[in-house]
Structure 1
Amino acid sequence: MSLFVEFHLIQNFAPSNLNRDDTGAPKDAVFGGYRRARVSSQCFKRIIRLGADFPSQNQGVRTKKLLDLLRKQLSEQYGRESEDLNARIETALAAAGLKLKDDGKTEYLLFLGQQEIDAFAKLVNEHWDALAAPVSNEKKSKKDAKASAPAEVVKQAKFIMNGGKALDVALFGRMLADMPEVNQDAACQVAHAISTHRVEREFDYFTAVDDMGGADETGAGMIGQVEFNSATFYRYSVVDPAKLAANLQQDKDLALTGLHALTLATARAIPTGKQNTFAAHNPPSFIGVAIRHASPLNLANAFEKPVYARGGEALTSPSVAALADYDSNLSGIYGDANDAWAYIDLSGAWPAGKGEKLPCLNALADWVVAQVRAKLEM
């Protein structure tokens, strides 16, 4: 039986510019024929990934500076220092199909688990002498560089890039176009957050005073403007626990640890854009988790018709109510009898009896783990 864990959040942000486009304006989108505020999925995924309390040995690193990481680890952990250290590392990486550019960085951003980085350092240390062979200054193709690496190094290197049981790699996936064998399909999909209502851009015209200005220097030392908006967002993401466990080499306990941390990090995620200017540290008013069995259900169409505040009502309340109504209608057709909800609601608009009301984030994360554990063990 299929199993999906969905996160549905309603989150109102005060005036802010959390996620900018190429002009510096808050990102937006047209949905249902109306302009909506938007925060990209990439923005939220990075905040969640960096904020999740994953075990240190099960975290990933996204970087082009693998050479620097390996130099540091070989020095600190193995005491390896030599003039040709870079060449040894470069040969070991070539054995795995990775090539360094002239500046010592990899050709593109790599998303590697810490265990994969540890394995590369161990490979260089164990084959220190074999990797000491003189390296030609002649530039080689990636294929030729791999062919010139010691055979035993090549044999071991091909098993290194297996995801390293890194939870963030397993959750959010990775793609290396020229090394498809090390790709990982994401176990977690994240939607762009959109406002439940129509929005208009606003502008803050600001001035700055020169503290050292003389008596004859009147006016501002600097003037400018920044765009911002304020919006109530619907956020959605979904996790396939079976895929997560598969990405983690069938380590189900680690998958459950990751789901617990992911639940907390998803609820606490707040983008960092322009926060020194706006300090929009506004947590969600509603956090709902749905356990689905038939298929995932993104509930964004609950807001295809924009929500409006009436009679002094906050936008969060009708947003939560619309979300509940739409889910009831949609799940009645596409849902499964074994589906379940748990939620934390500060708006008071989620219907009583629709799922299990929980008192805090830790209780919600524990509920997610309990639900998935029971299903994974079936």
Structure 2
Amino acid sequence: MIIELHLLQSFPVSNLNRDDTGQPKTATFGGHLRGRVSSQSIKRAARDLFTEYGLDRSETAVRTKRLLDKTTDALVREQRDEDEAKAVVRTALSQLGFGVDEKGLTQYLLFVSQAAIGHLTAYCRENWDALKALGATKGAGKSTKAKLDRAGQAETQRILDATRAADIALFGRMIADIKDLNVDAASQVAHAISTHVVVNEFDFYTAVDDLKPRGESGADMIGTVDFNAACYYRYANVDLKRLTENLGDDVDLAGRAAAAWLSAFVNAVPSGKQNSTAARTMPDTLLGVVRERGAWNLANAFLRPVADHDVMAASTARLVEHFGKLRGFYGAGQIRSATAASVSGDLGEPAGVRVVTSIDEFTSTVLAGAGV
């Protein structure tokens, strides 16, 4: 079973996701320049909301290179000597297949469960003398990774087990050197693109020293901030079968993870430049589709950019029309349900789509259609 989420969301002056030059990201689509918000920034914003929508913190994950420092801190709290603890953890990470550099950071930005640091701490505690001796033999500060034997592989699997981490199950994990720890993502997330042509602009600003002597004039700081304003089409899906498998066939956790995913993605807004733009808007048009198989990204509804003055109404009409055309051409046999809602627009009575009038009704109807 697959849940698809299609959203139309308009943002005023904003720079939600900038490139290396500080400009809002863009993409050429349908031969025209569009505003773009990367899938990575949307996923990060959604992950930050999972605990607000039904998941416990222990059921989520963290991305980090700082396993050495965090595990050392845990051992120090157990009255271990800090320098000894750091050397032991460094050796343990090497034995588990992860090199650590001079700054104490692992080679990879690891995606690990909240329990990983506790498991690693226990491993160091239980093997303290052996790890201490091995570290002394090889020399402190080395970042060489050990070749894992079966025992090392099993311990690494236990420490980095992801079957209780919903966001790893949803978004996957890749560790190039230890493929057995890879997790195939249950959720796919598209880059959001504007439904219309966009042109990036910039704001010229000045700032004045509050303590400047009276009579002195002129700005004490000047600069520019890039921005645009756009109506974005957002798309994501989640494969419930894959999600359940990734979570060790825990049907309850998979159901709560799917519900958290749905609500978090509706509410997810990237944090870029929010202190200076406060672009805290909500999606205006929502379409949730539950299907047995397949997936339809509806971005091609906007291959020809919307040019109407009422961008949201025109974009909504395009979205619903394109979905209807795909159903008519390819058939709706694989579609179990389709639910739509709009804050400001009139969706009419699209064929095969149930129109609801609140976010609670929308999410409950979509999840019920998926058997969650």
2:224 match: 225
Pairing 1:33–2:36 present: no
Of 159-168 and 46-55, more deviation after overlay is shown by: 159-168
Of 221-230 and 293-302, more deviation after overlay is shown by: 221-230
Rounded Cα–Cα distance in structure 1 between residues aligned with 2:340 and 2:69? 44
Q: Is the 8 A contact 1:194 1:235 kept in 2?
A: yes
Alignment coverage as a number of residue pairs: 363
Of 317-326 and 202-211, more deviation after overlay is shown by: 202-211
1:45 match: 43
Post-superposition offset of 1:215: 4.0
Q: 1:6 to 1:275 in 2, by over 3 A?
A: same
* One-letter code aligned to 1:324: V
The unaligned stretches of length 5 or more in structure 1 are none
Q: 1:99 to 1:226 in 2, by over 3 A?
A: same
Post-superposition offset of 1:32: 0.6
Question: Which string of whole-angstrom CA distances, capped at 9 and with x for unpartnered residues, describes residues 182-215 of structure 1?
Answer: 1111111111100001111222121112222234
1:337 match: 333
1:99 match: 99
- Residues 171-190 of structure 1 aligned to structure 2 (within 5 Å): 171-190=170-189
Q: Is the 8 A contact 1:115 1:164 kept in 2?
A: no
Question: Which string of whole-angstrom CA distances, capped at 9 and with x for unpartnered residues, describes residues 253-308 of structure 1?
Answer: 11110011111110111111111111111111012111122410000000001112
2:120 match: 120
2:61 match: 60
- Residues 264-279 of structure 1 aligned to structure 2 (within 5 Å): 264-279=263-278
* One-letter code aligned to 2:145: K
Post-superposition offset of 1:350: 2.1
Question: Which string of whole-angstrom CA distances, capped at 9 and with x for unpartnered residues, describes residues 324-366 of structure 1?
Answer: 0000111223343351112221132323254233343333333
SS at 2:128 equivalent = coil
Q: Is the 8 A contact 2:284 2:344 kept in 1?
A: yes
Rounded Cα–Cα distance in structure 1 between residues aligned with 2:297 and 2:260? 22
Post-superposition offset of 1:230: 0.7
Q: Is the 8 A contact 1:124 1:131 kept in 2?
A: yes
SS at 1:291 equivalent = strand
Q: Is the 8 A contact 1:320 1:347 kept in 2?
A: no
Pick the aligned partner of 1:326 from 315, 322, 329: 322
1:236 match: 235
Rounded Cα–Cα distance in structure 2 between residues aligned with 1:183 and 1:333? 38
1:250 match: 249
Q: Is the 8 A contact 1:191 1:236 kept in 2?
A: yes
Give the % identical residues: 40
Rounded Cα–Cα distance in structure 2 between residues aligned with 1:157 and 1:27? 38
Post-superposition offset of 1:114: 1.4
Q: Is the 8 A contact 1:294 1:334 kept in 2?
A: no
The unaligned stretches of length 5 or more in structure 2 are none
Post-superposition offset of 1:216: 4.7
SS at 1:238 equivalent = strand
Rounded Cα–Cα distance in structure 2 between residues aligned with 1:351 and 1:73? 58
* One-letter code aligned to 2:328: G
1:142 match: 145
- Residues 345-364 of structure 1 aligned to structure 2 (within 5 Å): 345-352=342-349, 354-364=352-362
Post-superposition offset of 1:223: 1.8
Over the aligned positions, Cα root-mean-square deviation in angstroms equals: 2.1
Q: Is the 8 A contact 1:59 1:167 kept in 2?
A: yes
TM-score scaled by length of structure 2:
0.91
1:281 match: 280
Post-superposition offset of 1:81: 1.2
